[in-house]
Chains A and B, each alone.
Chain A
Amino acid sequence: NAGVMQNPRHLVRRRGQEARLRCSPMKGHSHVYWYRQLPEEGLKFMVYLQKENIIDESGMPKERFSAEFPKEGPSILRIQQVVRGDSAAYFCASSPRADSNEKLFFGSGTQLSVL
C-alpha cells in the first residue's frame, strides 16, 4: 500500500520556465492538499482539491499558479513563468474524506529550485 507519491523529488528551472509538480494520492483517497514550505518555515496551505474540483484555493497566489486533480491520473501543481521566490519544497497530502477526523499523510515533497 504505497503512500502519497510525489515526483519529481527535485526540479530545477530557470526563471521564466514552467514547473509541473505531480502528486499521486494514497490508494482510495480522493482528496488532495498542496502545501508550500520555505526554508526554515512551517508549511503553508495552498489548495485543496477533490477529483475534478477545486474546493479551496485560498492559499494559492493569484497569478502563475494553478492546480488540477483530474478524474484519472495524478494531481498537478503548475507554476508558470517561475521566479526565484518560487524556490521551495512543495508537499502534497491526501485523505479519503474531508472531515477533520483524518490524519493527513504527506508525500516526500518536490524541491523546486529556480535559477
Chain B
Amino acid sequence: SQTIHQWPATLVQPVGSPLSLECTVEGTSNPNLYWYRQAAGRGLQLLFYSVGIGQISSEVPQNLSASRPQDRQFILSSKKLLLSDSGFYLCAWSVRAQGGHEQFFGPGTRLTVL
C-alpha cells in the first residue's frame, strides 16, 4: 500500500531563517506531487506541483521554492522566512489511473514563523 510522509511535524522558526520541508511517498512510482499551504485552518492554496524529477510548476509567486531530486521526494524550501509564511503545509500525491485521479495527502507540517 502507498504511504506519504512529511517532516517535521511542527516547526518554529525565526523570521529570516531558511526552511526545508520534506515529503516522501512509498509504494508507488512516477506520482504527481503537490505542495499546499493552509492558512487559518480553512482554504487550501496550491503552491507547487511536479509531474516528474526536476519538473516543478509554481502556482503562486512567493518566497518559497520546491525541488524534486528523486521520483518520490518533494522538498519545499525558503532562503529567508517571512511572518506570512506561517501555516499548515500539506504534501499530496496522485497517479493517473483508470477510474480516478484523486490526491492523497500527508499528515502536514505546522510552521510558525516568529
Q: Say whether A associates with B.
A: no
Residues on A lying within 8 angstroms of B by beta carbon are none
